[in-house]
Structure 1
Amino acid sequence: MLTPSLNTWSISSRLLQRLTVLPRSSFRYSSSASSSSIMASLKALLGFDQSQYTPCRVSTGLESPLIVTDAAAPLSSPASAMSKSHIDKTTGLFFNPWPSAGNGDVKFSEVLWSKLSREWQSVETSPDMMPVITPDFSAPLTDATNIRSTWLGHASFFVEMPSGLKVLFDPVMGQKCAPTWAPGFNRISRAPCRVADFPGVDVVIISHAHYDHLDDFTINHIRESFPEAYFFVPLGVKKWFTKKGISAVTELDWWEQRDISVNGIDATLGCLPAQHGANRSSSDHGKTLWASWSVTSKGKVYFAGDTGYRHVPRLPADKDDYAIDMPHCPVFKHIGEHRGPFDLALLPIGAYSPRWIMSKVHANPVDSVNIFLDIKARRAIAMHYGTWVLTDEPILEPVQKLKEALKQKALPTSGVFDAVQIGTSVEVPVHH
């Protein structure tokens, strides 16, 4: 397992990706910046000068009406669930225990070499590239037994279960996916609504602690608008919330689940594996877990969070890496066997290039279609693209490649695994 050091640094892929996001004018990406700006960006990435950033403390004094059991009704799990192989027995740090994760998290040296060699391409953006619509949460469901999911950009979703349970996944509604003092890291597409516009929030589910998935600005606004909301997070992340005065938090390990009840609505929430990483500074790599999640409440939803599928070595640009037999992450088939099938899956398709650097932690569209099949999902909505410039593929390339990947698997290019406009609500029927 790799641990951070100043000589051989293995930092989070999400923070490393932000090396590509420098201050913009009119949403234009530029590979040039002043040396002071670059140094400030590097300080933000590596977690220096944290004393300049003091999170706002939010304490409502209210108890959430949501009731959480000590443990959910037992469900089947793979044998690996008992071994806890993702926790280093010596250090207690979390890591990806599969060959598909390669030699650990994305390395600073890999990204730096790719940038200096100009392999890492600049990305053009414009305000009209990602159309955003304002969701109408007051619109009635066409069928009360449907799941309605609204994509809020990147990995953020507002999901209304047929039971009436209202769930927010990885809500990031602010302008930045970085500390407020860090330069750059600004949206290329606006948030489709305000936090206060949601018609209620019962549960907030966080996949991991990276800034583009756990946002201080948004959490503060959730506590202001919905003080009774309850939070579910992976191991180690609860501490971040308690420091803000938020106590309505349950943290879970992979394959753990909890039964909950709120206002007469029952549900089961499950924490499941993913192939990724997590940290918010240079000093906490591996100290908090990353996860995917399931929600069952008169319907079943899978949220992948952020994940890779198979580590791909450096290959010629015209080489199809799927023409080479390489190990893929086994947990998605385990999830399908032990927790599936799912009525709806929310799956990432972007931030995958350069492939040899990002593949271990980010799925490309072909990977995502394979995950879709592995977990036994009936429908899927794409995410993790079009909101920030995190890697070097063109903004809309993931959507095009998703259609190509679906064709390769003889799946329809619409109505099964769809990419939609930010702010779009999709209704999905539940299978019983």
Structure 2
Amino acid sequence: MELTVTKIPRDTPKEPPSHWLGSPPTGFRNPWPSFRHKFSAMQMLKLRFGSGRNFVPVPENREGLVSIQNPDWGEGAKSDQIKATWIGHSSFLIEMPAEPSTESTEATPCRGLRFLMDPVFCERMGPGQLVGPKRFSPTPCTLDELPLVDALCISHNHYDHLDIDAVKQLYVDKQQNRVAAGMAPLQIFCGLNSKPWFVNHCGVKPEHVTEIDWWDEVDVSVSGQTVRLVCTPSQHNSRRSAGDLDHMLWCSFVVTTGSDSTEKKSVYFAGDTGYRSITDEDVSAGTPIEDLPHCPAFSEIGSKYGPFSLALLPIGCYTPRTQLSCVHCSPEDAVSVHFDVRSQLSVGMHYGTVRGGISAQYEDVREPPQLWRKAGEARGLVWDKDFRLCNIGETVVV
């Protein structure tokens, strides 16, 4: 089966986009007042090792932690439904609704396109798995047990969102299985300036990597199935090594069955993002959080592509706020994103799996899911109807 990627034409801006540094870009920035990055290396060290920490160990008996189950990948769900299986942290396997196909048989039923978002299966999330945060919740399956996927979507290059060994195994080691199944080579979708990394470090052929900028749209087609993929903004950053800060573009993704479909089904995958920035000056002045500028990109995403059948939103690794608010959503922020993107059902992610280097010193890993429900209900959302959580390994069907 041939996989084709068709870029949807759009008007060329007269000036370079505001998030570019240079033209062509050599780096990127968050172009909104909601991003205020005002702490120094000394302040980071003080937060990490100072006296204000409130370290709470991960419960050894897993009491209060997210449950883990064997995935069934939505077995029994209807073919016209979205199936999103949580692998842990921000990793999701999304199978889009299937369109009727003449190639479908009882032996080989028609399925929708499968996208693996931010795949991470390693135990330690850092260079060579020698340093960095260690996973405290295991994956619900191995890479060998994962269904064959059509594409990887990478929101950014941080170690807890991009596992080099997983990419290598999915692209190289599983190629024989893909050929046997009549599948095209794995396609990777990522932000601008990312292709060289996949080519040089993972052995991916250049024609199998598609770089896309914010607001770029592509149609992904395989064997009569077509899905539109959109690269959308997020408020974050990127770094894989000491010398590549913000060199590769970060993003979120919209995956939809097509804008012209009367039965459109769509997913918004937020990747990793902040919503507003809270500085020490804001805290000292007692500025109400709701008075601080928030990122306008989410409302724009909702206006262009919403309402969404499903939104996958980050709710963890957000404390302390004066350090992490600019790049990580709190549960309250995630509820705001739910409203901004016009989500019909939102599921929390980016928690319950691994601790961040700074947030580990301040944030009880059991806190994010509790505050997610509290914050949503405080704004009128109905649990299990408008927003929810799921087990690691569970498939959410919409």
Task: Measure the CA separation in 2 of the matches of 1:111 and 1:212.
Answer: 20
Q: 3-state SS of the aligned residue for 2:27?
A: coil
Q: Percent identity?
A: 37
Question: What is aligned with 2:273?
Answer: 307
1:289 to 232, 249, 257: 249
Q: 2:35 corresponds to which letter in structure 1?
A: A
- Greater Cα offset, 82-91 or 193-202: 82-91
Conserved? CA contact 2:74–2:396, under 8 Å:
no
Superposed displacement of residue 324, structure 1:
4.9
Q: 1:160 corresponds to which letter in structure 2?
A: E
What are the superposed Cα offsets for residues 366-413 of structure 1, whole Å, 9 maximum, x if unpaired?
110111110111111110011111112110111111111112211112
Superposed displacement of residue 316, structure 1:
9.5
What are the superposed Cα offsets for residues 258-309 of structure 1, whole Å, 9 maximum, x if unpaired?
1121122111111010000001111000110000011112521110000000
1:210 to 158, 177, 187: 158
Q: 1:236 corresponds to which letter in structure 2?
A: N
- The 5 A counterparts of 1:368-407 are 368-390=334-356, 391=359, 392-407=362-377
2:84 to 149, 152, 175: 149
Question: What is aligned with 2:144?
Answer: 196
Q: CA 1:81/1:357 → structure 2, altered by over 3 Å: closer, same or farther?
A: farther
Could you say what the CA RMSD is over the residues aligned between the two structures, in angstroms? Answer: 2.4
- The 5 A counterparts of 1:114-263 are 114-127=47-60, 128=62, 129-137=65-73, 139-141=75-77, 143-163=78-98, 164-180=112-128, 182-223=130-171, 224-225=173-174, 228-243=185-200, 244-247=202-205, 248-263=208-223
Question: Taking structure 2 as the reference length, what is the TM-score of the superposition?
Answer: 0.84
**Structure 1, gaps ≥5 residues long:** 1-63
Question: What is aligned with 1:95?
Answer: 29
Q: CA 1:184/1:84 → structure 2, altered by over 3 Å: closer, same or farther?
A: closer
Task: Measure the CA separation in 1 of the matches of 2:129 and 2:21.
Answer: 34
- Residue 378 of structure 2 is aligned to residue 412 of structure 1: no
Q: CA 1:417/1:211 → structure 2, altered by over 3 Å: closer, same or farther?
A: same
**Structure 2, gaps ≥5 residues long:** 99-111, 179-184, 258-263
Q: 1:146 corresponds to which letter in structure 2?
A: Q
Q: 3-state SS of the aligned residue for 2:229?
A: strand
Q: 1:66 corresponds to which letter in structure 2?
A: L
Superposed displacement of residue 176, structure 1:
1.5
Q: How many residues align?
A: 359
Question: Taking structure 1 as the reference length, what is the TM-score of the superposition?
Answer: 0.78
Question: What is aligned with 1:14?
Answer: none
Task: Measure the CA separation in 1 of the matches of 2:277 and 2:14.
Answer: 22
